[in-house]
Amino acid sequence: MPKLAKPLTDLQVRTAKPVVGKAHTLADGLGMYLEITAVGTKIWRMSYRQENGKQNRLTFGSYPEISLTEARAKRAEARKLLADGIDPAQFKREAKEAKAIAGTHTFETVAHAWLKKTSAMRASTTQEKVTNWLQKDVFPFIGHMPVSLIKPLNVLTTVQKMEARGSVESAHRVKQICGQVLRYAVATGLAERDVTADLKGALSVVPKTNYAAIIEPKQAGVLLRSIFGYTGHPYAVAALKLSPLLFVRPGELRSAEWKEIDLDAAEWRIPGEKMKMKIDHLVPLSTQAIEILRNVHAMTGHGKYVFPSIRTYERCMSENTINAALRSMGYDKETMTAHGFRAMARTIMDEVLGERVDLIEHQLAHAVKDPNGRAYNRTAHLPARRQMMQRWADYLDSLRKGADVISLKTNLV
């Protein structure tokens, strides 16, 4: 170890010459010195003693890449570690190893691990959509980065590219997905925190595109009375009356076929090819629904469709029929739509009637999975769903007849 000496100057460091045939050193003090090799290479080093008394050496780098000022800063860091009982050489090795490991845990590799780990929680179509979002809109920009080094601005810059092309809602969804990946990284010890928490309010507000719906019980009662007073075409009247009872998607209702409906068993089995999720769906039919369908059967039971086109029995009812009927009843598109009967059922059944959310979601034909991540089959919880659908039909009757109802809280409307 070099003897304590007067600190070096920039001039001494810059003009130091090699000694032929051997290395020599210039001390700067506090254990740090400049080693000059026989060929003229200048290397900053520091000698120190470990807690066990063993001599050790630390290398800071070569001059002029590392200046005298920078070398002294590194010396100060090393001395602080020593004061805390940490071997600076070991600390440096571990930091280097950690950096190498971090380089293998890129955002893309962690995202793929997250996708695989959580796949059972999503429908296959959703899994494919999330994967495509990541591959197209995220990986090209931050996929190569170590997940531990991702900063809020990295994520923001990425999703702003989507926002710039008009995909505002998708940008918000992708930001949420990035957050889920980062939280998985935190849980597995690969990152310190989910940095997307810092991006609240950084993206444009998502334009409201929800289907208009009446979700206040008293207003729903008024709507139901209007429906029962509607004097349009019998097919349209029947479809209108069934819409709140069954709350299926409008396309599923208008394309219903008699072969799918078992009036005696009080069931409507919709084949997967007609469903958004491409999975068979079973709709239990309340006594009120059965009564309406039997009346319709007397008119259209000899044909294929429950609600055929007014012009030809070879096609089903037009997609505009129910919405047109609502308009003729005085409900504009900002107030109520054919699709809005689903939101009406979802909200009131949950917030007013206290029905089980998983049963409601299953009846809406949303992706619902069991605790093992498997999709429920079409007959899952059928007795409970049958009872729920009858309670819902009875409740709608009470609304229509003007019974006292519980209004939704203001913050739920």
Please answer whether residues 10 and 68 qualify as being in contact, where contact means their C-beta atoms are separated by less than 8 angstroms: yes
Report the chain's C-alpha Rg in angstroms: 35
Please answer whether residues 88 and 58 qualify as being in contact, where contact means their C-beta atoms are separated by less than 8 angstroms: yes
Q: What does DSSP assign to residue 207?
A: P
Active-site residue, 249 included: yes
Q: What residue spans of 165-273 are helical by DSSP H?
A: 168-187, 217-228, 234-246, 250-254
Active-site residue, 386 included: no
Query: Number of C-alpha atoms within 13 angstroms, CB side, residue 122?
Result: 15
Q: What does DSSP assign to residue 303?
A: S
Cα angle value 75/78/82 (rounded, 5°): 135
Active-site entry in 249, 254, 378, 385: 249
Active-site entry in 79, 376, 386, 391: 376
Active-site entry in 74, 175, 281, 339: 339
Active-site residue, 276 included: yes
Distance CA 386, CA 364 (A): 13
Per DSSP, the chain holds a count of helices (H) and strands (E) of 16, 7
| Amino acid identity, position 33 | Y
Instruction: Estimate to the nearest angstrom the gap between the alpha carbon of 295 and the chain centroid.
Output: 45
Active-site entry in 24, 315, 366, 369: 366
Active-site entry in 342, 346, 362, 378: 342
Active-site entry in 92, 129, 276, 391: 276
Please answer whether residues 26 and 14 qualify as being in contact, where contact means their C-beta atoms are separated by less than 8 angstroms: no
Active-site residue, 366 included: yes
Distance CA 62, CA 67 (A): 8
Please answer whether residues 153 and 79 qualify as being in contact, where contact means their C-beta atoms are separated by less than 8 angstroms: no
Q: Which two tokens stand for residue 282?
A: 């079973």
Q: Which two tokens stand for residue 32?
A: 């740090």
Q: What does DSSP assign to residue 29?
A: E
Active-site residue numbers? 249, 276, 339, 342, 366, 376
